[in-house]
Chain A
Amino acid sequence: MNISHHFDDATLMAYAAGTLPQGMALVVACHLHWCPECRHRVKQAEAVGGALLDNISPVAVSDSALDDILASLDEVPAAAQKQVKTSEPNQTELPDPLSTYLNKSLDDLPWKWIGYGMYQVDLNFGGKGAARLFKLAPGVSVPHHTHTGNELTLILRGSYSDEIGRFRRGDVADLDSDVLHQPIVDTGEDCICLIATDAPLKFTGIMGRLIQPFIGL
């Protein structure tokens, strides 16, 4: 399995700094479980945070803080060594963070038909933006659209092609308002993606404006 499309450095830095909305952080976390290259870059981006922590002007904690915490240590067990599994995208269908969240296989989800050969499941994260699973039938093309903010897409099954290239399982598309694209499912298999945004999409054609209210991203 070769992952050929990765995250932008700026996205990984936002992840490391902890500033991504929850849905986008989930997309990043899922790709990281599959992609050693992006994991390496996140560690570097976290080291930026460490260097900043070394440089910060300290702010005194309360006088009793140390005594309070020392008094409570005996009641606090050591954390169990958590098995955070990495996997190759071809070993298990869903990356760990998503399967933990969904607790179901992709085929058992309550897919909602939204017209145009497209189905979706809203993950209902609060806060800004949205996170959804999309299922696109073979031959379906998503209407031309651009983005008012950022859109992160992780391919979970199948593939699509657009103006940028071909996106297969494990690949991510990291898009912002500079990109106008029209993805087309390019094999005989459904394409299932996890998509998170921090602002609504902007469809450009008449077809797109018609379905916008249904997609609601």
Chain B
Amino acid sequence: MQEDEPIGGDVNAVTKLAEDSRKQMRDEWSARLMSLGETRDKAVFAQLFSYFAPRVKAYIIRLGMPLATAEEVTQEAMLAVWRKAHMFNSDKAAASTWIFTLARNQCIDRMRREKAVEYELPEEEPDPDQRDNAEHAILAERMQIAIQQLPENQAQVLHLSYYEGKSHSEIAEQLGIPLGSVKSRLRLAFSKLKTYWGDEA
């Protein structure tokens, strides 16, 4: 990693954006995805595609896929959005989180020939203190702010893990630090992020 190219630079840039409008946008995308599940309206799908496909493609490129493959896998991930939209539940996840998991699974499938491992989480039992949609959007918003406020070395391991698809050992090797330090940085980052979910506030 080059010293003059701090990872997380684009995260910091986003801090400048008005937070209210981002939250509103996130609510709107979740509502659109819900309505796609109900109506299977192609015009709604086209809107979701225009917003998310370039983000999914950027994510897949960061994972190290060649450009042509990234374009293909993006199409596959967006097709999965169409096929599975009726399973999306905005009470349980933000649209971006749900689409992230679809894109991630599509990449895993592409990189491995076997598909033995079931990455999809089982359906939860109805939860009495289930957060409602509005609250979920607030939490997603806080999570985003929290990520931007992480110390540089924690943000860096988070990015290498989620965005470059590096295993903990690969991150340790790349940064020249022990495996234990990679894990403790991730743990620290996660515990800070969790306080924004109200778990350890």
| Interface residues in chain A, defined as those with a beta carbon under 8 Å from any beta carbon in chain B | 8-10, 13-14, 16-22, 25-26, 29, 32-33, 36, 39, 42-62, 65-66, 68-70, 72-73, 76-79, 81-82, 84-86, 96-97, 100-101, 125-127, 149-150, 176-178, 198-199
Contact = CB atoms under 8 A, between A and B. Distances in A.
Interface string B168-194: 110000000001101110110011011
Given A17-B161, A49-B104, A44 B54 contact: no
A78 B139 CA distance: 30
Q: B interface, how many residues as a size bin?
A: 35 or more
Most buried by A among B55, B79, B191: B55
Contact of A18 (B82, B108, B147, B193): B108
Contact of A9 (B42, B147, B186): B186
Contacts of A84: 118, 120-123
A58 B46 contact: no
A72 B166 CA distance: 34
Contact of B99 (A19, A29, A53, A65): A53
B112 A44 contact: no
Given A66-B46, A69-B79, A53 B169 contact: no
Contacts of A10: 168, 182-184, 186-187, 190
Classify the secondary structure of B's interface with A.
helix
B134 interface: no
Nearest to A52: B162
B116 A59 contact: no
Interface centre among A55, A77, A199 (most CB of B within 10 A): A55
Nearest to B81: A69
Contact of B93 (A43, A59, A65, A85): A43
A84 B123 CA distance: 6
13 contacts: A10-B190, A13-B161, A29-B118, A39-B124, A44-B194, A48-B147, A49-B162, A50-B94, A53-B52, A53-B96, A60-B57, A100-B118, A149-B179
Interface string B64-76: 0000000100110
Interface of B: 10-11, 14, 22, 26, 40, 42, 45-46, 49-50, 52-59, 61-62, 71, 74-75, 78-80, 82-87, 92-94, 96-101, 103-105, 107-108, 112-114, 116-125, 139-140, 143-144, 147, 158-159, 161-163, 165-169, 179-180, 182-184, 186-187, 190-191, 193-194, 197, 199
Contact of A76 (B83, B139, B158, B179): B83
Interface on chain A toward B: helix, strand, loop, or mixed SS?
Answer: helix
Contact of B121 (A8, A9, A43): A43
A79 B116 contact: no
Nearest to A79: B83
A56 B113 CA distance: 28
Nearest to B100: A49
B168 A62 contact: no
A54 B144 contact: yes
B96 to A, nearest CB: 4
Given A9-B187, A46-B100, A65-B75, A57 B122 contact: no
Contact of A47 (B58, B85, B93, B108): B93
Contact of A39 (B85, B122, B147, B184): B122
